[in-house]
Chain A
Amino acid sequence: MYSVRVTNFLAQVGIGNRIHAIRKQHGIRSAKALAELIPGDNVTESILQNIEAGRKEDILVSQLLNIAKALRVTPIFLLAPIATPTARLDIANLSSSFEGMTVVQFDAWISGEPDGAYDWNNLAERSERTQLHAMRDLHEQIRERRRLAAKLDAAIDTGAGGHAGDTTKGRLKDADRRIAQLTSYLSSAGWDLAGWAG
């Protein structure tokens, strides 16, 4: 059966084509209009024109971040044709250690996914990534604690304590316990969490 398929703008080859396609998709008419979303002289209209035309392939990290931010996408969308997960990377000037790396593996590496397509080789690598994950987990737990605390307040205000209140209390205790665990793990690894997980 024949079906009409859109060409995904996240499947473009080359960073310049991807910037161009995402810019259009987001309704930003010209390179000039995009440059105006990036205050400062780090990314000018002419730099953007050169990148989009493929004349400039290797850009500065600051330029990558500024452009991605202005386009409101996570930088991986500019770095790799994410909609073609099994394709090889098309980034200029990579060392040969990237040889054979696919887009989906690259994504797992960049995002530090523990169960992703990238194989983390050694222990040091893994312990660093565990810390990164603990930080993300901690953030979620803090958010959960805030949510539960607000819920508990509301339950007390409406006098609807009883069973519902107890469950929330129990979950709040869980969140507190997990926050304490993660905080102590990260602190002992040398993290500075003052003012965050307090």
Chain B
Amino acid sequence: MTGFVRQSGIGERIQAIRKRHGIRSAKDLADLMPGGNVTEAILQNLEAGRKQDLSVSQLLNISHALRVPPVFLLAPIGRPQDPLDLVNLSETFEGMTVAEFDAWISGETNGTYRWRDLTERTERSQLEAMRELLASLRERHRLTTNMLIEAQLTPPDEVNTGPAIWDTTQERLAEANRRIDQLSSYLSDAGWELEGWVK
């Protein structure tokens, strides 16, 4: 089986993913981008390889319509050790593999891409902190809901006052809150605007 993730060239990948997602024609795909800047003709040119470099908004519009992260269009993700096949890249990309490119685009800390200097790492650790903050907020929301349910389901005379043998929801909630405080204070100090988000 040839994976649709292995096509070389951005046009071939767009076409393969479009077909795999059951979108019959370039026109049908163009119709999925209301108010966008990608017409049927542009798509035909891309798919035929006549147009190889596209604008950022076109890339984002097409990948959103195809419901894949943009990296699926930018690189043959199914061939991780291959070199990139994008046009007009400067020679600083020479030797970069698909796997390294993916790590770079997604800002993975432990990925294949080597982040060289400290600034680079500081910025990326802020990105990581934001992602972890999001996960902690979600966890807090889940635990808060659990606590309400537990309180409703436990008759007053069965409330356990002795030491618990496992971490209670309450303890885990406190832990989530502590982590949220830590992360939001770290990000706020770095100048992040978290108002209306961490509440």
Please, what's the 1-or-0 string for A127-153, where 1 marks a CB less than 8 Å from any CB in chain B? Answer: 011011001100110010000000000
B197 and A96 within 8 A (CB): no
State the B residues within 8 Å of A (CB): 1-6, 20-21, 32-38, 53-61, 64-65, 67-72, 74, 77-82, 86-93, 99, 102-108, 110-112, 115-117, 119-120, 123-124, 126-127, 130-131, 134-135, 138, 187-188, 190-197
Name the segment of A111-119, A160-168, A169-177 touching the other chain. A111-119
Q: Which of A1-55 contact B (CB under 8 A)?
A: 5-11, 25-26, 37-40, 42-43
Q: Which residues of B contact A192 (CB under 8 A)?
A: 3, 6, 78-79, 82
Q: By the criterion of a CB under 8 Å from any partner CB, how many residues of chain A are at the interface?
A: 81
Cα distance A93–B36 when bound, in Å?
A: 6
Cβ distance A100 to chain B, nearest Cβ, rounded Å: 13
Chain B residues within an 8 Å CB radius of A129: 69
Binding site for B on A (CB under 8 A): 5-11, 25-26, 37-40, 42-43, 58-66, 69-70, 72-77, 79, 82-87, 91-98, 104, 107-113, 115-117, 120-122, 124-125, 128-129, 131-132, 135-136, 139-140, 143, 186, 188-193, 195-196
CA distance A82 to B56 in the complex (A): 17
Cross-chain contact B4 with A95 (CB below 8 angstroms):
no
CB distance from A146 to the nearest CB of B (A): 13
The docked-state distance in angstroms from the alpha carbon of A158 to that of B63 is: 54
